[in-house]
Every structure is written in structure tokens, then in C-alpha cells.
Amino acid sequence: MKIIPKYWRSLDHLADTPEFRQWVEREFPSGASEFTDPVSRRHFVRIMSASFLLAGFGLTGCRRPEEKILPFGKAPENYVHGVPQFFATAMPTRSSAIPLVAKSSDGRPTKVEGNALHPDSNGAADRYAQASVLNLYDPDRAMRFVGNGNAVKREAALDFLGEVSKKAQADGGRGLCFLLERSSSPSRARLQKLIGEKFPQARWFIYEPVDFDIHRQAASLAFGKSVTPYYKLDEAKVIVSLDCDFIGGEEDAYINIRRFTKGRKIEKPDDTMNRLYAVEALFTLTGANADHRLRVSSGQVLTVAARLAVEILKQRGGFDEINSAVQSLAGSALANEKWIVECAKDLLANPGKGLVLVGQRQPLAVHLVANALNAALGNAGKTVVFNVVPEAKEGTISDLAQALNAGQVDTLVILGGNPVYNAPADLNWAQTQRKAKTIVRLGYYEDETFAVSGWQLPLAHYLESWGDARTADSTLVPVQPLIEPLFGGVTELETLARIGGLETIKPHDIVRETYRGIAGGNEDNWKRFLHDGYLPGSASKPVETQFNASAAAKAIGAAKPAMPPTKDSLEVVFHRDYKLDDGRYNNNGWLQELPDPITKIVWENVLVMSKKTADDLGLVIRNNENNQLFVPLVKIQVNGRAVDSAGAGRQYSWSGSRLWPPANRPRWTRLRLRRLSSACHDGDAFREWREVGAHRSDTPACHYTRPLDDGRTAAHSGGEFEAVSGQSALRQGDEPRGTAGCSPAVPQPARPAQRKGSAPVGYVHRSECVCRLLGLHGGLSE
């Protein structure tokens, strides 16, 4: 008989089912106790508790760790641990250098400031110099020597340079081409000369995506000898800037700032201030500081310059050839006639105390007009003086592309730069470069060019290198290392010397030898030079110049005025970024974090246009319920080539191996900078640059745009874009209206992309194009 329990705990208990009986018999629910592992749970706990107990007996955590103090065997001179040391050095820039005093904290460079001893710098330094310290410690730097895709030993790579040298020695350097960046280093110039003598058939080329050489080119043409202008802004009473951002984006802006503000300082009651007239398309720092700002499109600056020249030459007389050349460019009266007339009056009222400056973006004709005006007004030799510089004999990257395509290049040596990334798109550089049989590249990152290079050597940072440079006034400055190359990197000088098969290979000895040639062999003077950070009296003496009106008039006459932009043919202006330069500081968080001085944008790339242009193009800001602004991706097509958004064209992450987009890891792409075919304007005078940069937020594979080199437009999937500029806000809207010239093309309406198997992720693609699009209808100031 079944015993019915008096008390029961559950209905199963009462019913006394077989399942219940089984359940009761088991200690754990089925499955839980069925470890197949020979180490049972209980065994594990037993062992662990014993271990903890023993650990407790040992009192390992309570023991005093015995620490060692390791003093020097032989202490370095003047070194006190814990007290920073300071060394004079310089940061080389394209055609100049910034003299610096670098702080070394226990052997690590930690901070740089301007060298106040230098006669021409007034102790100033710019943001690039300040932030360059961070680049030294960039974890994404190229850290290894690579030969044909494999990491090799440093010695093997250097041996290979020796082989290149031997081969060149055998055939006089036939098929040996060097692609360089601009540099003011006398040592490099000397090595180039030595190698040129040794290998007479070797060829030299220079490429800079943002180049300031136009100032030298124009002055040399206008004055008939190889000279470069040097501006004395502090002595100018009337300054006219023709699209020249001389206190922002131009070279040596850090000096110009001090000079310019010196002319604005009022200390006595009868002091007067200088007056700044700015003609510009962008809203720049110079425009923001101007007393009178004239907003015209970039292409129209030539017309304004010509109009100004007509007004001035009418009064001054002479310069007939120039006068006739500018007459045709000046065209009919402009809407801004009155502004120009007043500006001309002011310049005429201050002969010898005015200064006309032209920006690096502007074509040669505008530079020549400005040189003519400075000569006509007697400013040349007073507010702008001319220093003799060596003639540039190097070819351009287009010349190199021609040589490559003609199969004339056996060995291509690329020293610095990233041409695969920022060479003119027309050259199709990635493919063109492959035509060289051997490629040796000295690079700071393992980037796009690295991927197409056979051999790559890591480039040493300037704080790790011996070198030299000349500042704006041609004063010789040393580049001293503060630390051994962190990853065994080599300098440009050493690479050149090894390829040249020269006797002196150590960069220090090369620099020392150059110095000996300039200033003699006195050891004390050399030490003084290193200590003070400049060579006294090495600034070049300005030369007397005679304006060559006929040559200038000929070049001016060859220029054609650009058509004013219309809604259907907009003008795109690509400019040197205030923070990232041409993109070289893209991996620098300090600079990325720095707000743009005009738009206040950080970590972003935007396309800036006037509200009116945006309205005309049907680009409107959408405001969602959370009060977030969304703008669409704007795509710019120029002559069939398109500038696109995040990640576009950036195929390689910094590690050099993974394909873009990297898995789940936020990465910063580098600014993309390419010379566009000059479709926006007639003639090829205008330099347009396209810069695409990107901020990738944590967006796995949200969109991937194909590289742009095939000339087709890139496809986009969704993504939302945030308005980043109060004035510019764009977002998706209508279909593009026409594609003649430049026109923003608008992608499909944005949808929030979804991660696989999860809820919609609310990420925002922040903006994309860095370029500022400035339309017919006005600039930012409205």
C-alpha cells in the first residue's frame, strides 16, 4: 500500500512520482553533477583552498620587494637625474625651419619651444612644432626594416643600399631616380651635388602636396635671378593679402604673426596701426584679422589683382607692358569696384610702406602682378626684400611619372612623403610607381606607399636626427638629436650618403662637414653653433633686384581669367589644414584635438559652404526628435573624379597589413590630398587639392567606398552625418543638380546601419570632406 505522507513539500512529493523519487535521490539536478572531467569540482575546490592557505602562510604579499638602484658606471657630463636639460635644435619645414629649444627629461624629449636666441624667430614656434613631440612617440610609426614584404635586419637593409650604390657606380646612375620632399638643408643640397657628380645620370624629383615654392618661382621670374621673397610685415603700413593666409596657412606664419602684430601695437598717442586688406575665398585667420575683407571666389582673385594693378599703374605711370597685360584680365568693372579703388588709394598714399602678398594657392600670374605692384610702389627692397637661393633643378612628380611610364627608371628612391596617397590622381601613382624595378622608400609610417615599395626603411624623427636647415632669413640652424632613433630609424642624409657610396655616412659627420664648408673648422664655433642653435651672421644679405617687366608681362598675359562660379559650376578650394597640414599630422591626437581656429571643429573634416549655396543645392539640415542635427554625405565630383567620405581610398590601416576598414577599432584615416585635374577653371593655373579625411567612429563595415583612382564614383551605403559647422550644415536632400564642373552629389537618404543581430546602433559618421566648398553665392561671413 502506498504510504501517503502526512506532510508534503510539493504536489510531486504527495503524488510520489518516480521522477520525484529520482530527483530526491540525486544531490544535484540532472546534468549538474555529471562532470566528465577527471578533476572534479570538489577536487578543484579542495586544491584551491589548500593553495590559498599555503599562499597565506607564505605571506608573499607582505614581503618587502627588494628593489635595486642602478647608478651609472660613468655619469654623463652635466646630467642630473630629475632635472630636465635643454638643447637647441630646429624643426625642418618645407622651405624653412623653426628654431627650437627642446626639453629633455631624463633623456626623453618632452617639450619644444621656440629658440629666443635666434635672430629671426623671436622665440616663436607654431602648433605643428609644439605637437611634433607626440609624433616621436607615435605607436603607429614604422618600426622595422622591410625588404620585399618581409621584415629584415637593419644591416641587411643598409647593405641593400650599398648594392644600389654599387650598381649606380657601374653605370653612372642610369635609371636611378630620387623622389624627395622639399628641404632647406644645406647638407642635403651638398649630398645631392656630390651624388650628381658621382652618378651624372641620376635624376632628381621633388614633390610636395602643399608647396610654397611658387613664391620663389614668381620672384625668380619677375626679377630675373633665383631669389625668394622675405617679408618685413612690421615695416608695412598697408598690407594687401590676395588670398594669402600669411598668419595661418603659409610657411613661417609663426614669424609673420609677430611681425604683423608689431605693426598693430600702439604705445604712444601718435602711433598708428597698419591696415590689412584681405581678398579671399575662404574665411581664414588673415581674413579674420583684416580691417577690410573682400570676399571673392578663389578664381576671381586674379581679376581683383589685375583691377588693383590697373588702378595703381594708372596713377604711378610706367610699367606699360604690365599695364597692358593686366588691362585684359581686369575685364569690366566689378561689383567691388569701390573697395578696390579705395585699397589702391591707400597703397598709393604709402609708397615704400605697403606690401602686396599672394597666397600659395594662387597661380603664377597673381604672384607676378603682386611683384609688379610691389616694384611699382617702391615696396620691393623695403617691406619685401629678396634673398638669393640656389636654383631648383629637380623635376616634378609629373616628370617622374613620365620617366616611369617610359620605362626609364630602374631604381626609385623615395625619401619621405607618401606619394601613393597624395600624388595627383591623374598620375595614377600606385600603378605608375610599380614600373620601377626596385623601389627603396624611407618612410615614417607603413602606409600606402609602403604597400607598393619593395624596400622600406623607417625614417628617423627630427628629434632623433642630425641635420641642418635654413630659416626664412637663411640663417643656418642645426638639427640635433635628443635621443637615439627609437626604432633604429635612418635619416634622409644617411640614406643619401649610403646610396651615393660616399665616405662620410654618419649624419653627424655629414652635417659637420657642411658646416665646415660654410663657417670653417673652428671647434669652438661649432660647439657654440650647436649650443645657441644658429650660426650668427649666416642670414643672407638681400640683393638689389630689377623688375623684369617684359618677362612678367608675358607670363601674366598667358593667364586666363577664371569664370565666376555659378550654381552649376561651383568652385572647390582645398587648403592646407590649420591642424593636420597636408595630412602628415593625421595620427597626432594633440592636433586632432585642437579646434580649427575658424570653424572650431575638432577631430573632423567638413565641407564648408554658404547657407545660400546649400539652399540652392537643396541641402537642408534635418533635425530629429532628439534635437540632433544630421547632414548628408556630400560627394564632390570634378571631371569624373570624386571626393568622398570616411575611409574612402584609405586601404591600409597603419599596421600596413589589414585592409580597410579595420575590425571594430576606431582608427583615424589620414587626410587625403590629391591634385585634381583642373576642371574647375580654364587653364591649369589653379591648384586644386582634394582632401578627404575622415573620422571613423566605432563603425564596423558600415560603409566602404572604393578607391577613387579608377575615375568612377564611389558607392555608399547608409550612415548619418552630423552637421559640424553652424554655417555649413548639409545633409541629404535632393538629387544632384547637374554635374558640370564641380557639383555636390548627394547620396541616398541615410539610414541607421545595423550591426548584425543587434539593435540599431546609434553611431554617427561625423563628417567627411575637409575641403571647403565655396560657392558663387557667398562665403561664410554671411
Partner 1 sequence: MSDIFPKWTNRLPLQIAIGALLAGTAVTAGIWYYFTPKYARVGYEPIQPVAFSHAIHADQIGIDCRYCHSAVEKSWYSNIPSASTCMNCHNQVLKDSPKLELVRESAATGKPIPWVQVHKTPDYVYFNHSVHVNRGISCVECHGQINKMDEVHHAKPLSMTFCLDCHRNPGAHLRPPDKITDLNWKWNDDPKIAAELQKQNGDKFVHDWKVQSLQSCSACHR
Residues that bind partner 1 (CB under 8 A): 64, 66-75, 80-83
Q: Give the burial class of 37: count Cβ atoms within 10 A of its Cβ; 0-12 exposed, 13-18 middle, 19 or more buried.
A: exposed
Task: Pick between residue 8 and residue 79 the one whose CB is nearest to partner 1.
Answer: 79
What does the alpha-carbon distance between residue 130 and residue 593 come to, in Å, rounded to a whole number?
13
Q: Give the burial class of 46: count Cβ atoms within 10 A of its Cβ; 0-12 exposed, 13-18 middle, 19 or more buried.
A: exposed
Count of beta carbons in the 10 Å neighbourhood of residue 88 = 21
**Grid-cell match 616611369, residue found:** 404
State in angstroms the smallest separation of the CB of 62 from partner 1. Answer: 9
State in angstroms the smallest separation of the CB of 748 from partner 1. Answer: 54
State in angstroms the smallest separation of the CB of 484 from partner 1. Answer: 16
Contact (Cβ atoms closer than 8 angstroms) between residue 176 and residue 165? no
Task: Pick between residue 76 and residue 139 the one whose CB is nearest to partner 1.
Answer: 76
State in angstroms the smallest separation of the CB of 154 from partner 1. Answer: 23
Task: Pick between residue 85 and residue 289 the one whose CB is nearest to partner 1.
Answer: 85
What is each CA distance from 637 to 172, 359, 643, in whole angstroms? 45, 25, 6
Task: Pick between residue 66 and residue 684 the one whose CB is nearest to partner 1.
Answer: 66
State in angstroms the smallest separation of the CB of 82 from partner 1. Answer: 4
Task: Pick between residue 65 and residue 520 the one whose CB is nearest to partner 1.
Answer: 65
State in angstroms the smallest separation of the CB of 83 from partner 1. Answer: 5
Residue 538 identity = S
* Residue 743 three-state SS: strand
Task: Pick between residue 57 and residue 72 the one whose CB is nearest to partner 1.
Answer: 72
Task: Pick between residue 69 and residue 266 the one whose CB is nearest to partner 1.
Answer: 69
Count of beta carbons in the 10 Å neighbourhood of residue 634 = 30
Degrees, nearest 5: CA angle 574-578-582: 55
Task: Pick between residue 81 and residue 541 the one whose CB is nearest to partner 1.
Answer: 81
What does the alpha-carbon distance between residue 620 and residue 381 come to, in Å, rounded to a whole number?
52
Task: Pick between residue 63 and residue 756 the one whose CB is nearest to partner 1.
Answer: 63
State in angstroms the smallest separation of the CB of 104 from partner 1. Answer: 14
State in angstroms the smallest separation of the CB of 134 from partner 1. Answer: 23
Residue 358 CA, chain-centre distance (Å), reads 21
State in angstroms the smallest separation of the CB of 65 from partner 1. Answer: 9
Query: Where does 520-582 have alpha helices with state H?
Result: 523-532, 549-558
Task: Pick between residue 104 and residue 336 the one whose CB is nearest to partner 1.
Answer: 104
Enter the C-alpha cell of residue 215.
613664391
Smallest CA-to-CA distance from 420 within 157, 714, 179 is with 179
State in angstroms the smallest separation of the CB of 108 from partner 1. Answer: 16
What does the alpha-carbon distance between residue 371 and residue 558 come to, in Å, rounded to a whole number?
16
What does the alpha-carbon distance between residue 765 and residue 631 come to, in Å, rounded to a whole number?
10
State in angstroms the smallest separation of the CB of 56 from partner 1. Answer: 16
What is each CA distance from 772 to 233, 283, 409, 482, 725, in whole angstroms? 28, 10, 38, 39, 11
State in angstroms the smallest separation of the CB of 346 from partner 1. Answer: 56
Task: Pick between residue 77 and residue 684 the one whose CB is nearest to partner 1.
Answer: 77
Quick one: residue 348, left, alpha or beta (phi over 0 = left, psi -120 to 50 = alpha)? Answer: alpha
State in angstroms the smallest separation of the CB of 117 from partner 1. Answer: 24
Task: Pick between residue 62 and residue 170 the one whose CB is nearest to partner 1.
Answer: 62
Task: Pick between residue 73 and residue 520 the one whose CB is nearest to partner 1.
Answer: 73
State in angstroms the smallest separation of the CB of 86 from partner 1. Answer: 15
SS (H, E, C) 470-537: ECCCCCEEEECCCCCCCCCCECHHHHHHHHCCCCCCCHHHHHHHHHHHHHCCCHHHHHHHHHHCCCCC
Note the maximum CA span of the chain. 135
Task: Pick between residue 74 and residue 756 the one whose CB is nearest to partner 1.
Answer: 74
Task: Pick between residue 83 and residue 663 the one whose CB is nearest to partner 1.
Answer: 83
Smallest CA-to-CA distance from 412 within 431, 436, 444 is with 436
Burial 53-86 (b: 16+ CB within 10 A, else e): eeeeeeeeeeeeeeeeeeeeeeeeeeeeeeeeee
What does the alpha-carbon distance between residue 729 and residue 721 come to, in Å, rounded to a whole number?
10
State in angstroms the smallest separation of the CB of 107 from partner 1. Answer: 14
Task: Pick between residue 71 and residue 520 the one whose CB is nearest to partner 1.
Answer: 71
State in angstroms the smallest separation of the CB of 133 from partner 1. Answer: 22
**Cα Rg, the chain, nearest whole Å:** 32
Smallest CA-to-CA distance from 440 within 165, 243, 762 is with 165
Contact (Cβ atoms closer than 8 angstroms) between residue 710 and residue 431? no
Task: Pick between residue 63 and residue 393 the one whose CB is nearest to partner 1.
Answer: 63
Residue 695 identity = H
Contact (Cβ atoms closer than 8 angstroms) between residue 134 and residue 588? yes
**Grid-cell match 610607381, residue found:** 433
φ, ψ (nearest 5 deg) of residue 680? -75, -25
State in angstroms the smallest separation of the CB of 593 from partner 1. Answer: 24
What is each CA distance from 640 to 73, 396, 416, 554, 684, in whole angstroms? 67, 24, 30, 33, 17
Quick one: residue 68, left, alpha or beta (phi over 0 = left, psi -120 to 50 = alpha)? Answer: beta
